[in-house]
Structure 1
Amino acid sequence: MKRLRKMIHNASFFCLCLLLSTGVFGDTDVMKSVSVMEGDSVTLNTDVKVQRDDHTLWMFGPQERRIAEIHRQTIYIDATNTIFEKRLQMDNQTGSLTIRNIRTEHTGLYKLQNINNRGTSNKRFSVTVYALLPVPVITSNSSNCSSTSPSSSQNCSLLCSVLNVSDVTLSWYKGNSLLSSISVSDLSISLSLSLEVEYQDTNAYSCVLNDPFSKQTTKLDISQLCQMCLDKTQTPVSVTEGDSVTLHTDVMEVKMKDQILWMFECRPAQLTIIAEILNNNIFIYDCDDLRFKDRLQLDGQTGNLTITNTNKTDSGVYKLQINNGVSRCWGFNVTVYAHLPVPVISRDSSSCSSSSSSSGSSVSRCVLLCSVVNVDYQNNTLSNNTYSCVVSNSFTIQTEYVDITKLCSVTVILYGMLFFVVTVCLLDFSYLYHTPPCLY
């Protein structure tokens, strides 16, 4: 019995050794994580030396598609797998796999299988390819223009933005201290993070975009992005009520990083943003009283602001601010003039009178009245032989000509000299008559 037990024990030990030697227990599966930047090369190491009879296989993806192998010291690369486009190399000594100029689509699971007379061994590599991070863009996020002095404690609002990113974190830092951050794992998303600082802040601020492999940093230049718009330059612009007017930026083409801000004094000494271009997106706003009522248009290429169907409430100061690394700002003083009425000339019979001249002849005066209503001011103009009444402002004029034959008709032959008197809006014609027309 003891001998039988010993024989069974020896047989079991032999089988165990045989199983180990054939690889039943040698089928190991080790996972290794690898991170790499897009555009770089990465090598997945086998950590073995390939023997003559070894069969080394590399597979990719959940379906474990064969992409490269060494069999009897001959290298085979799958040329039909277009995702790699001649990027794969195998070391004939170790079987290590190198991927050159790697792209984000090469992210995934790589399986190494090595088969020989000693058994089968497996190793897995989880490869993550990180796209090149964009540089964060810092722009002004609100109206920096103010009538206050630069020593004001008013805050400057800033926005740090990035486009088309995934699995990243966007952060604001004050020196080395983290102020705020936002993270995202979605694919191809845009991120933005705001910050408010005082105009006279002298601390060092930076916006940082990072993923687990790399980071991009943009330092804040407060002196450029948080300038107080103290420029008093204002271009006068006149327009007739009902017409359209365009305020020009003199920009040939708005760039992606440019910010165009249009502001208006909706209330005295208070500028309100009424239109904006940011990241090539157009935003139209309005005053609290909605005075513009969908009458604002913004040109996406030049940033020019057009006000359609203008009315007198549109008169005022419009402020333009352009932020593209350096803030520039200037103003437009817009005056909307109402349509002028046509002057009305009438005869004022109540003012007609007669008198005697120095020669003893009777003198009759025809008094004319030129009238306009609901205007700010008017002027009268008199020419040599043709008489006209003109009402004008600094933008338009309206003229009415005097028809003497209708308003100052006479039935007798006149002689002597013609006298006239102009006083404000009254036009007096003095004629020498045998019989005064007013007394006829």
Structure 2
Amino acid sequence: MEKILLKLVLFCLWRLVGVFGATGWGKKSVMEGESVTLSLYSSLGPMQQDDLIQWRFGKYVIVDTNVTTGSMTVYDDVLDGRFRNRLKLDNQTRSLTITNITTKHAGDYEVRTINRPQTMDYILTVYKRISVTEGDSVTLNIIPEISKNDILWEYETEMATIAHINRTAERFSTSDVPDGRFRDRLKLDNQTGSLTITNITMQHAGDYKLIITGEKQSSKAFRVSVYARLPVPVISSNSSNCSSSSSSSSSSCSLVCSVVNVSHVTLSWYKGNSLLSSISADISVY
């Protein structure tokens, strides 16, 4: 009798798995302005001819597709049109690509097969680029509508919490990491929740994450790049390239501008206050 009961329980469990399906999840990170592709993983099983596949952002449907007919409906006007002209669905794999991404596209995505309830979830993090010169200050701002919630700031590069706001308990605090790189450099705005790093150095470059808890749970990520201050360039003449005309009083000479250990530079030549030429390129000069 016990064996029969055990078999019945196992059979019921197997049937439940078949009904509710397998659920998988994944994480994706992307820089603001880039594209990201969310793929269908094996947790959904092989696609079937009668599959109806749906992509969601939070509770909002953004794409419906029918495998049999190949038809696709894109709802890119939801949420004030933040997805407009940004969604691309692969007709073969049903993977979803979001182009020219912004921080508004960060959050939870779900793909599900409507006719056989199986799901795949994604957590998408979009990093906002921030560049700052060594020795300056940088402020990581948050949007006003979430500033009234509890806030946690993390320095993801070291997996450490560096600031916390608990509005219920009226606690506002900043904390350092073990090596002391943030000592006396963090300023937390108790009203807005924005975080300022003063007298920044190369050690403070990396990924920062804002986690909002309470009624509105969300997150925001920043990637901070710190650049060294540009050294004073050296301008010299190349005497081998100097020449003069015997028939006139005019002469010409080549000038050389050099600087060491810099990248992403813009070189501009001026005569007095007049701009003669400007060259900007992703080049490094050593």
Query: TM-score, normalization: structure 1?
Result: 0.34
Q: Does 1 or 2 have the higher relative contact order (CA < 8 Å, sep 6+)? A: 2
**Highest CA radius of gyration, 1 or 2?**
1
Query: TM-score, normalization: structure 2?
Result: 0.50
